[in-house]
Structure 1
Amino acid sequence: MSIDWAVVLATVAGPVLAVQVQKFIERSTSKRQRRERIFEAIMTNRATRLSSDYIQALNQIDLEFRARSDKPVVDAWRSLFGELSNPPPDQTDANANTAWNDRCNERLIALLVAMGKVLGRVHSDEEIRRGFYYPRGRVEAEQAQLAVLIGLQRVLDGSSPLNVQNAGPGPSDLQLSVLKKIAAAYDDSGALKVIFANAPDKSKMN
């Protein structure tokens, strides 16, 4: 009886190939989902750039966009990263800060446009620039929080003094009297003076 080795090979290799194909499809799907999540996190939080989701998504771009076709995305990411890594120094005038923010905005828009093209999601520059809602009150609260943190850091590292002012007219006569009595209760060495009331007469104790 002759053996049809082609049938045998197909019978043995078929399930193996099917499993490998299924794994390949799952890996490709998982990779696309990760890339989609990065894009959506940046798009969703592009008005809240201090959020952890936004920062984590930026830091994952070079991990997930590594194919040759992803070069425009990586180039745009490096351009944005370079700008973010070189902010204006402290005490810079408002015009320089505004110019730096504008450059960061334009590089972020370029990054999102490049990512959208790679993922097959078309978004215009204007849509990315204006297509979000962020209440003014939230902006002010975020700026106030950042100002408090920066001010506290400068006080702690000694670069800014802590200003203390007397908010009232000064201590009252009663407060001064109490303070004087407290001061009189200590001698020049700082020891507390103690007086025993109704102490027995030492001469009668002998």
Structure 2
Amino acid sequence: MGIADWLMIFAVLFGPIIAVQLTRYLDRIKEIRERKLNIFKTLMATRAYNVSWAHVEALNRIDLEFDHNNKKEKAVIAAWKEYLDLLSNSSISSEQWSIRRVDLMVELLYKMANVLDYDFDKTHIKNSFYSPIAHGATEEEQAALRRGLLEVLEGTRQIPISFSNIKSSEK
């Protein structure tokens, strides 16, 4: 048997195994990228609603999905840590905190965009979103209703009741 015969036997025996392993490897890479994309897309879609459940969940998944050993992804994790540090900081004024929060969120999203090969500049990330005024008003109203209901249930607020248009039953 010549070398060509041995190569043919090797290809017939190991070709399918190599093909399956290569397919599995490529699927794993695709799945990892999809998970990172999901985080990025969620954060971009909810950047105007930073207290939404989806937004918070996506932030908390950054440490799980981005690789600490990859140089570009390490920058994402560093930006996330800086943002997280601000989120738990109550020592600065609320106005300064809000401005800094937006800047750090933009920086985080910008670094994620770079890792995921999206061509967004920071101005686009900061200013290009749609957030209806009605959504903000609805959130404020729901928060006020929850606070009021809790006060009633805790006994610190009473429900005012008044009667009108009551006919007297005098005879």
1:110 is displaced (CA, Å) by: 0.7
2:87 counterpart residue number: 84
SS of corresponding position for 2:93: helix
Question: What CA distance in whole angstroms lies between the structure 1 residues aligned with 2:100 and 2:150?
Answer: 27
Label 1:86 to 1:112 Cα distance change in 2 as closer, same or farther (>3 A). same
Label 1:85 to 1:131 Cα distance change in 2 as closer, same or farther (>3 A). same
Whether 1:147 aligns to 2:144 is: yes
RMSD: 2.8
2:46 counterpart residue number: 45
Whether 1:127 aligns to 2:130 is: no
Unpaired segments ≥5 residues, structure 1: 89-94, 175-206
Q: How do 1:44-193 residues align onto structure 2 when only pairs under 5 Å count?
A: 44-66=45-67, 67-69=69-71, 70-87=73-90, 96-153=93-150, 161-163=156-158, 165=160, 167=162
Label 1:23 to 1:164 Cα distance change in 2 as closer, same or farther (>3 A). closer
1:86 is displaced (CA, Å) by: 3.0
TM-superposition CA deviations, 1:49-97 (whole Å, max 9, x none): 2322212211111111124231110011111112222346xxxxxx922
Question: What CA distance in whole angstroms lies between the structure 2 residues aligned with 1:36 and 1:130?
Answer: 21
2:27 counterpart residue number: 26
Worse overlay, 61-70 or 22-31:
61-70
Question: What CA distance in whole angstroms lies between the structure 2 residues aligned with 1:135 and 1:104?
Answer: 21
Q: Which amino acid aligns with 1:110?
A: E
TM-score of the aligned structures, taking structure 2 as reference length: 0.81
Q: Mark the structure with the bigger radius of gyration.
A: 1
2:6 counterpart residue number: 5
SS of corresponding position for 2:157: coil
Question: What CA distance in whole angstroms lies between the structure 1 residues aligned with 2:49 and 2:157?
Answer: 30
TM-superposition CA deviations, 1:112-160 (whole Å, max 9, x none): 00000000112111111110111112111112212333454466567xx
Question: What CA distance in whole angstroms lies between the structure 1 residues aligned with 2:109 and 2:150?
Answer: 33
